[in-house]
Amino acid sequence: MKLHEPVTGGPCWAELGTTDLEAAKRFYTELFGWYPHTDPRQQAGGCTIARIDDAAVAALTPLHRPGQPVAWNVSFAVRDADTALRQVTAAGGTALQGPTDVFDTGRFAVAADPTGASFQLWQARSFPGAGLFNAPGTLGWVELLTREPDRAADFYTTVFGWSVTPSPAYPQWGIDGADFGGMVTMDDKFPHEVPAHWLPYFAVADVDTAAVGTTDGGGTVLMEPTAVTDGPRIAVLRDPQGAMFGVYRAGDER
């Protein structure tokens, strides 16, 4: 993506909610070369920050609310989480959790858009979000999969002020001319039980190697490595606990 640091309205963080934190730490450490550290404070609830060198790049946490699926969650930076959550509900979305203070690091809330895709709002204090984007092992793109693309576009442009690059095949989200994600219309190829969702893509040095590493680690390849026309080489994967994520070849940013 064309963003290289957290900016207001843009994706700033990716967080995994999982049923087996220790297994997830082993899997992603092997796949991405992360160095995970679990906050020992009881109030932190097992929150684990993954780093590459000195940069925080993602979080892994136990599931923390009833009905929460095993999934990667994308956070978007906002100036004020309370105001942003009110804007979400005014635009037809749903408040799912919060806003809640996270020590002195920031304030967050969980919401869902009108098509059912959940996401997080992050109001930074001492922690702005990921310290590195677009490098191997870090977040580099986010993708909304929805059955109601027009409704989704109206919602996100209203709440966050995003631009939408028109395309019948793959509209792209942007802020001030910097594209950071795209939108896929879910058709009959998607099982009915799969809800609308946000999918994070992580950069890797080699997509094919990441696919092999996923299966070797007990995960699943959902979409085989593919070269997108006029775009990057990508794959869609699932970890052993069931969380889906994408990978793309670093340096192929759109």
| pLDDT band at 43; cut points 50, 70, 90 | confident
Q: What is the DSSP string of the chain?
A: ----S--TTSEEEEEEEES-HHHHHHHHHHHH--EEEE---GGGTT-EEEEETTEEEEEEEE--STTPPSEEEEEEE-S-HHHHHHHHHHTT-EEEEEEEEETTTEEEEEEE-TTS-EEEEEEESS--S-S--SSTTSEEEEEEEES-HHHHHHHHHHHH--EEE--SS--EEEETTEEEEEEEE--TTS-TTPPPEEEEEEEES-HHHHHHHHHHTT-EEEEEEEE-TTS-EEEEEE-TTS-EEEEEETT---
For the chain, percent of residues with pLDDT exceeding 90: 83
**Mean pLDDT, residues 152-168:** 94
Domains of the chain, first to last: 11-124 (3.10.180.10), 139-249 (3.10.180.10)
Which pLDDT value is given to residue 59?
Answer: 96
Mean pLDDT (the chain, rounded): 94
Q: What is the pLDDT of residues 212-221, one digit of tens each?
A: 999 999 999 9
Q: How far apart are CA 194 and CA 188, in angstroms?
A: 11
In this prediction the pTM is: 0.95
Q: Is the predicted pLDDT of residue 44 greater than 70, yes or no?
A: no
Q: What is the pLDDT of residues 93-130, one digit of tens each?
A: 999 998 999 999 999 999 999 999 999 999 999 999 99
